[in-house]
Amino acid sequence: MAKPIMIQGTMSNAGKSLLTAGLCRIFAQDGYRVAPFKSQNMALNSYITADGSEMGRAQVVQAEAAGKAPDVRMNPILLKPTSEKGSQVILEGQPIGNMTATEYYAYKHNLLPHINRAYESLSEENDIIVIEGAGSPAEINLKRDDFVNMGLAKMLKAPVLIAGDIDRGGVFASLYGTVMLFDEDERKHVKGTIINKFRGDVEILKPGLDMLCELIHVPVVGVVPYLQVDIDDEDSLTERFSKQGSSLGLIDIAVIKLPRISNFTDFNALEHIEYASVRYVSGVNELKNPDLIIIPGSKNTMGDLKWMRENGLEACILKHAAENKPVFGVCGGYQMLCETLKDPYGVEHGGEMKGMGLLKSGTVFEKEKTRTRVTGAFSKVGGIFKGLSGKIFEGYEIHMGYTASEAGNEGGSSLSNLTEINGNEKPDGMQNGNIYGTYVHGVFDSEEILSEIAAALMKEKGLEYEKHTSFNLKEYKEKQYDLLADALRESLDLEYIYKVIEEGI
């Protein structure tokens, strides 16, 4: 059976996910069989595994860092917010319905056997399990029936390292306060703290580190610098949304930052196009005059379209399209481009509404979610991106709706042809002039497709695209995981961490 180590944080975005991924990489490099585990994750960035199951993107990153195929046992419960008060509940990779927070907390005791079963199964196959907590473990109003932080640590007899984010200020107070709010039986699990996202001279910190150790009676295991590694982000707290840059690239790509944006990691690869800038915009003043507008996925397509309609972004996109400039919709963004959206079962928003009308099709939201990995090839593509014709890609589908051409409408055709993991073949998406829509997440991950998009956008500006470097997404990710591991080896006391893992509780 595997030995556990758990990373908790004083708050959300303290760096738990990244530290977990880095430790997974280190242990794998050191020859151990290692896997990540997070009993419950709340995020809109999800992933479809080889068997069609759904899990959180953070655990996918951690699995890749560990050299393992993503497996829903690593994240048995995923909550995908659909509104301010409710979420879709994904259990062991399968959606079981939407629940309000009150309904979920009344139901959650039923989930404990699933968590135990997933962890025990992983434990039988590995030497070390790196467990990630969720949010803050010191939320004293949520301690009852907790199975994500100290409740899970006690259940699994896992030693815990607490990470604090110094970049946001108050790190000593937050670490001290977190530990002091633990009960005595919880405190015995705490074996050390980590100061994360540090900028500056560590010598200046040392008096504070010594005082913290005296106050909470556990060592500081390391001071981790603010890391410049490019690894898929956990959720909407990503810095990508605020990192606009001082100037626009020769190619300006604007991604609409929807209130319930999901799977925005679809667009990370676009950042590797030479001469390009990728901006996330949420207002008319931010949009400016981009070369390409992308409408991403959403966990509430109709609600987010209504938001765009009210704040003027829809009108700007329609104007952009009327000027024969390209618009690309992915998943929920594809649905928004349609003539009509209907939600007869209330799976997202309920009711019916008019779409943007840029694609002559309609979307109906269904009770069953489509979840499958796919390979595909673009059909005969028209418009600015005609060079994509025949290009091959792979990715996954994850959506509630079904989109089809509206009866009697012409002027649109499918964008690509797909093969599902079960061998089933089907058309996907739609195109009409310079308007494109697809259900496939990951369609931009191919170097060949990135180059074609870049060349087409540059040609439209009267420029020639010259590619000076090659880009392979898988190789790039592997390099980033190695850089992360190198940085943690330099800043963490790994000898102490291995000792903690071996001794346990």
Residue 239 sits at the vertex; the CA angle it makes with 237 and 241, to the nearest 5 degrees, is 85
Compute the distance between CA of residue 396 and CA of residue 375 in angstroms, rounded to an integer.
Answer: 8
d(CA 243, CA 485): 25
3-state secondary structure of 311: helix
Residues present in the chain in total? 505
- Separation of alpha carbons 330 and 215, rounded Å: 51
List the 40-42 sheet strands across, edge first.
40-42, 77-81, 86-91, 94-100
Contacts of 365 (CB under 8 A, 6+ apart): 301, 341, 342, 343, 344, 345, 347, 348, 400, 401
Token look-up 């699933």 returns: 114
CA angle 5, 11, 14 (to 5 degrees): 70
**Of 134, 122, 178, nearest in space to 42 by CA:** 134
Report the DSSP beta bridge partners of residue 77: 40, 91
CA distance 422 to 415: 21
Enzyme catalytic residues:
331, 441
On the 0-12 / 13-18 / 19+ scale of CB atoms within 10 A, 370 is: middle
| DSSP symbol at 45 | -
- Convert 430-491 into a string of H (helix), E (strand) and C (coil): EEECCEEEECCECCCCCHHHHHHHHHHHHHHCCCCCCCCCCCCHHHHHHHHHHHHHHHHHHH
